[in-house]
Structure 1
Amino acid sequence: MAITSLPLNTFKRGLESGQPQIGLWSILSSHVTVEILAGAGFDWLVLDTEHAPNELPMVYSQLQACVGGTAHPVVRVPWNDMVTIKRYLDIGVQSFLIPCVDTAEAAANAVSYTRYPPRGVRGFSAAPRANRFGRVKDYPQLCEDELAVLVQIETRQGLNNIEEIAAVDGVTGLFIGPGDLSAALGHAGNPKHPEVLEAIEDAIRRILACGKPVGILTPDETLAKHYLELGCTYVAVGSDQGLLARGSEQLAARFKNLG
């Protein structure tokens, strides 16, 4: 029997219920590693196309690799671009992480790219993977409920406009990008600088005051737990690239030091 219903966006439901969502960043751009990670027990997995050598056909395979795992795929697009987002929607992406959203207008644009007219500007395709190749007949009316639009706050301007961005209808949550934010504040490569940490905590408080879920990425376990305690709902606690690089270095060092 054909499947005629949409996949439930468990990640979005978790955010709406306030249940902490623990995630991992995927940079290696491989459906093999994604399949391994998707079943590791995480709640969400970022398939990065901004700072990774990842392209749409590869992400298509990575979405397939996520099927059956615990981790809901969240695609970080390379930019807040209508055509790019349309193409990822068609291959079945339900959750988006949009980089460098500095204003309410940019946030509203991001949302509009995921909505069909008259609520947005998404182009229509009759039978993409998103509607199970035409098997979900009322997809245009149902899909919005399963879409999550997460916008990244990673500049001074973005910090200044948090309340306006959070007020945009259709923005599911705000995500703080420590790397770019540290650069924007004059401390590139040092996301643990006191000024950066202070700005992050202030942003968390303000986003929560707006009633929106707040997310962040940090491989520092102590910081990750601290941000969860502050009220962050979705926290990415590392990356596949970091796990491979540091783990392989540590293994090599243990044997190199035997002599």
Structure 2
Amino acid sequence: MAPSDSKVSFLPCLERRRSKWGGLLLTNAVTPQATQRIVKMPGHKFAETIRSGKPQIGAWMQIPHVMVAETLAQTNLDFLLVDGEHAPIPPDALLDILPATERYGMPVLYRVAWNRIELIKAALDHGANGIMVPMVNSGAEAIEAVSSAKYPPAGKRGSGAWRASNYYQNDAEYRKNANSSLAVVLQIETREALNNLDDIASTPGVDALFIGPADLALSLGIEPGKLTHELLDACQAVANAAKKYGIASGSDVASIDYMIRLQELGLSLFTYGSDPDFILQGGRAVARDFHNALGGTIAEIDVNSVIASPKDAIAVDGLIIPSKSEGARQ
């Protein structure tokens, strides 16, 4: 509009009007033009998909940079698991990450550093599609995690989803749907958690139990990356508890080839690989192919050893699951 017009659209929720003295006044009226520009934040049926038991594959994001987020969002994975526990990605980093992933419709599950309400609500207020909570060991801790993620009466999450509600333009609708649309995934990582599986899995509002195989192995006295019958039995127990209460179960895996075995146990939610891992594997593959093509070798790096077979790999929370034939020999 021309500056001489009496009413000029200024911001989506503000008007700029000229007073009779020639000054400018700001009001909270919404012009028709501004209303047309009010858009909903991208929505996902992520929690519903998890609960359905449909197999899902995601990857870990541990490099806190928008370029990494935007690149990973174009991989055709089912979701990204942004790691706030073992990577330098605090909840406020989501302000840069989420616009990049939303551009391509990529759901983000954010793992908080610990089971604390300020971390959980911060991630959800930014607009994460769900939260993963590590080291949940009891029914009481499960209730605390769910309560932090749900609005009353199901929980104690406070109103204030500033970005998730598109700066309060869709606040009522967001709050109406948030409790059912946002995923709550709890990690089973200790012997104590295995002893309390019924209490954890039966907590209303939990969408999935997710095995942290490295920490679970340590808790059971097993070296991470080494499969034992005890560890497989633990995975089966988690899957059984989840099925009993109508929720999903999952785990990180170190090889796609091993995912079939876990699916046979009843798991459906998986993560495989991470951004540092993808970079290392890609770069090492180029080095290997280059030197193999030239018939030479790399002086300081044995590329045949660094490009290990899947059974030798360790992922973020890596669990090594052998093929059936391998398992029979153990």
- The CA RMSD measured in Å over matched residues stands at 2.0
d(CA) in 2 for partners of 1:32 and 1:246? 19
Matches within 5 A, 1:179-258: 179-256=214-291, 258=295
> SS of 1:141's equivalent?
helix
d(CA) in 1 for partners of 2:37 and 2:260? 43
Residue matched to 2:55: 20
Query: How many angstroms does 1:190 deviate by?
Result: 2.4
Counterpart AA for 2:267:
C
User: Within the alignment, does 1:131 sit opposite 2:165 as a pair?
Assistant: yes
Paired residues of 2:252 and 2:271 also in contact (CA < 8 A): yes
Counterpart AA for 1:63:
L
Query: How many angstroms does 1:202 deviate by?
Result: 3.0
When residues 207 and 13 of structure 1 are mapped into structure 2, their CA distance, relative to the original with a 3 A threshold, is: closer
Paired residues of 1:166 and 1:174 also in contact (CA < 8 A): yes
- Structure 1 length as normaliser, TM-score? 0.91
Residue matched to 1:63: 98
d(CA) in 1 for partners of 2:169 and 2:145? 27
Greater C-alpha Rg: 2
Query: How many angstroms does 1:150 deviate by?
Result: 0.5
Paired residues of 1:9 and 1:146 also in contact (CA < 8 A): yes
d(CA) in 2 for partners of 1:219 and 1:199? 17
Query: How many angstroms does 1:22 deviate by?
Result: 1.3
Matches within 5 A, 1:7-46: 7-46=42-81
Query: How many angstroms does 1:194 deviate by?
Result: 3.7
Paired residues of 2:56 and 2:268 also in contact (CA < 8 A): yes
Paired residues of 2:58 and 2:80 also in contact (CA < 8 A): yes
Residue matched to 1:97: 132
Paired residues of 1:30 and 1:62 also in contact (CA < 8 A): yes
Paired residues of 2:57 and 2:79 also in contact (CA < 8 A): yes
- In the TM superposition, structure 1's runs of 4+ consecutive aligned residues that sit over 4 Å from their partners are 3-6
Matches within 5 A, 1:71-150: 71-125=106-160, 128-138=162-172, 139-150=174-185
Could you give the per-residue CA deviations for residues 189-235 of structure 1, whole angstroms, max 9, x where no partner exists? 32534432332133223322332111111121222222123332211
Query: How many angstroms does 1:95 deviate by?
Result: 0.4
Query: How many angstroms does 1:69 deviate by?
Result: 2.2
Paired residues of 2:78 and 2:106 also in contact (CA < 8 A): yes
Paired residues of 1:11 and 1:21 also in contact (CA < 8 A): no
The answer for unaligned runs of 5 or more in structure 2 is 1-35, 297-330
Counterpart AA for 1:115:
K
d(CA) in 1 for partners of 2:215 and 2:93? 26
Query: How many angstroms does 1:3 deviate by?
Result: 4.2
d(CA) in 1 for partners of 2:40 and 2:99? 17
Matches within 5 A, 1:164-183: 164-183=199-218
d(CA) in 1 for partners of 2:82 and 2:284? 24
Q: Matched residue pairs, number?
A: 258
Q: Which has the higher contact order (CA 8 A, sep 6+)?
A: 1
When residues 32 and 6 of structure 1 are mapped into structure 2, their CA distance, relative to the original with a 3 A threshold, is: closer
Q: Which moved more, 1:186-195 or 1:89-98?
A: 186-195
d(CA) in 1 for partners of 2:215 and 2:124? 26
d(CA) in 1 for partners of 2:222 and 2:281? 24
